[in-house]
Amino acid sequence: MRAAFHDDLDAIFTDLTSVCELVSVAVRDATLALLEARNDLAEQVIDKDVEIDDARERIEENALELLSLQSPVAGDLRIVVAALRMISDLERMGDLSVHVAKIARLRTPHPAVPDIARPTIERMAEVAEQMVERTCQILRDRDVSAAQDLVADDDEMDRLRRKSFAELLGQEWTAGVEPAVDVALLGRYYERIADHAVTVANRVVFVVTGETPSGS
Amino acid sequence: MRAAFHDDLDAIFTDLTSVCELVSVAVRDATLALLEARNDLAEQVIDKDVEIDDARERIEENALELLSLQSPVAGDLRIVVAALRMISDLERMGDLSVHVAKIARLRTPHPAVPDIARPTIERMAEVAEQMVERTCQILRDRDVSAAQDLVADDDEMDRLRRKSFAELLGQEWTAGVEPAVDVALLGRYYERIADHAVTVANRVVFVVTGETPSGS
């Protein structure tokens, strides 16, 4: 029964990694759609989100089946519950990519992000993408040391968010209200993607070590 | 064992209802802080969020203990998992109230919401408060019929969000960029509070009827 439990658990983690990779593509394509004003890519991100939603349902069913059939207790139980939570986080990251894509779609053929805001938003997107990729790696390899780097990335994300606000509220902002609102919401979406990445990574650390990293 | 299970489950639902009531107060106070530019209330909402976080941990522990000791299967298992998810939703609603309170605090002694945006934001806040109160009632009484009304409220929330965007992007907006960004983010926070309220209510419907309402 213990061996069966661990096989089933491995299968769930493999599935979580696949979903993470779908999310990684969604974040990257949504950003490309945004920065290059590409409607086709925006539509693609929006359309493909259903794959992430479907995968969520499948993984949840598998986790519930595992709980039903194996009735794990103590540490094993917490691992399955952590997996259930990770899939929720990953699904939200997919939804947030859709929000980015929808802003891109709304403004095409024009770029949603004015030049003055572009370097900061570009960097936010890059950091978010990196964090998602790292999260996939952490999930795939149960690499808890990589979770440390993620915290540093998240600090950079916080700084970038403040910088972005300073830009859009500064004297040099001449782009008007609409792009300011877009940029503020985009900042929020990338920040939330980063938050969820940290949460997933911390759950993996918990699964591997039995300890929740401090500050999470 | 079945009787014990249902007693424990009732206790979890009683706890969820208490947390919902804390969230209800947080949403109301954050809104008051926002609309009356009251720094004291904003600080209070921010400080008291830890109570919601603590309650979340306690309820999670109880739910895990229930899973461990009783190893429920099938429908019972899904009910406990639904409870675990509801507490996550409620905690997020608390966090979102903190975000509203932080915008209020940032702008005091001035009101964050300019006059032109006030009626719509006021109504969004009112709808959000109503929805949270209704969610508490649904949790308390397992009143699935009330979940229907919640869907209508959520439709109004969507309309209000669009209205708010139209206002801040319209010709008559003379308040500038900063209030526009505040109003856009506030709209997002109230909309997310409403989303989570619907999600919690739908989970209660699922727990009572075994069916997930359509469109959720």
The average pLDDT across A201-207 equals 92
pLDDT value, residue A1: 55
Domain of B167: which CATH number?
1.20.58.220
The answer to whether position B197 is within a domain reads: yes
Q: List, in order, residues 6 or more apart from B138 with CB less than 8 Å away.
A: B144, B146, B147, B150, B200, B201, B204, B205
Q: Do A77 and B84 touch (CB under 8 A)?
A: no
Alpha helix segments (H runs only) across A71-144: 74-107, 118-141
The answer to whether position A124 is within a domain reads: yes
Number of domains into which chain A is organized: 1
Flag whether pLDDT at B211 surpasses 90.
no
> A75 lies in which domain range?
2-209
The answer to whether position A177 is within a domain reads: yes
The answer to whether position B215 is within a domain reads: no
Lowest mean pLDDT, pick from A14-18, A98-102, A142-146, B183-187: A142-146
- Would you give the distance in Å from CA B35 to the centre of its chain? 19
Nearest CB among A81, A88, A177 relative to B64 is that of A81
Q: List, in order, residues 6 or more apart from B108 with CB less than 8 Å away.
A: B37, B38, B39, B42
Nearest CB among B73, B81, B188 relative to A185 is that of B188
Among A169, A21, A17, A45, smallest CA distance to A102 is for A45
The answer to whether position A216 is within a domain reads: no
The answer to whether position A47 is within a domain reads: yes
Convert the pLDDT of each residue in B42-89 to its tens digit: 999 999 999 999 999 999 999 999 999 999 988 899 999 999 999 999
Percentage of the residues of chain A whose pLDDT score is greater than 70: 98
Rounded CA gap, B142 and B136, in Å? Answer: 9
pLDDT value, residue A45: 98
The answer to whether position A152 is within a domain reads: yes
Are residues B160 and B127 in contact, defined by beta-carbon separation less than 8 angstroms? yes
Rounded CA gap, A77 and A210, in Å? Answer: 12
Residue entry with tokens 């461990």: B68
Are residues A127 and A155 in contact, defined by beta-carbon separation less than 8 angstroms? no
pLDDT value, residue B214: 65
If you measure CA to CA, which chain B residue comes closest to A88? B85
The answer to whether position A45 is within a domain reads: yes
Rounded CA gap, B35 and B192, in Å? Answer: 19
Give B182 to chain A, closest Cα distance, Å.
9
Are residues B132 and B30 in contact, defined by beta-carbon separation less than 8 angstroms? no
Question: Whats the size of chain A, residue-wise?
Answer: 216
- Structure ipTM: 0.91
Nearest CB among B77, B169, B184 relative to A64 is that of B77
